[in-house]
Amino acid sequence: MAAAVLIGSGLPVFTLVVALIALLVSLYYVLSPWRYSGRDELVTGLIWYPDRDVLLFCMADGSRLKVEETLSMAAVPGLVAISVITEKRVRPVWLVVTPDQLDSAGWRRLKIMVEWGGFVQREASGQG
């Protein structure tokens, strides 16, 4: 949109080229934090012991999120989204996992957990 305004403004060619280059550079710097943000928050592993009610997600930065309870879980082909409460965070965390983030056994276990409700979930109380 900004490029269209610049082109339609009737500026001299040199000024127009400099302004368009400045616009592209500024767009790169505005969007570059989004390219790199979230890489450390990618799920890279799953540790689940159903008999002990232990669920840990291994993150890309090497940390582990211990899940206290799940609020909601959804699975579609190629994607699993889970809203969880962890031991170190006050607010719920949404984890989005794709098959390429886990090994085949981890992905299969995660799908089973989501489809069969294999981890402690918060009871719906209607209290908001």
| Max CA distance (Å), the chain | 73
Within a domain: residue 123?
no
Within a domain: residue 74?
yes
pLDDT of residue 53: 81
Within a domain: residue 31?
yes
- Considering the domain architecture, whether residues 61 and 80 belong to the same structural domain is answered as yes
Within a domain: residue 54?
yes
pLDDT of residue 14: 92
pLDDT of residue 4: 84
- Give Cα 25 to chain centroid, integer Å: 27
pLDDT of residue 125: 53
Q: In order along the chain (128 residues), what is the average pLDDT of each group of 10 residues?
A: 82 90 84 58 84 86 86 86 83 86 89 77 54
Under 8 Å between Cβ of 59 and 41: yes
Tell me the residue ranges of DSSP E strands in 22-107: 43-49, 54-59, 64-76, 79-86, 93-97
Which domain covers residue 7, as residue numbers?
Answer: 2-36
pLDDT of residue 21: 92
Cα dihedral 23, 27, 28, 31, rounded to 10, equals 170
Within a domain: residue 121?
no
pLDDT of residue 70: 84
What's the rounded Cα separation, in Å, for the pair 58 and 39? Answer: 13
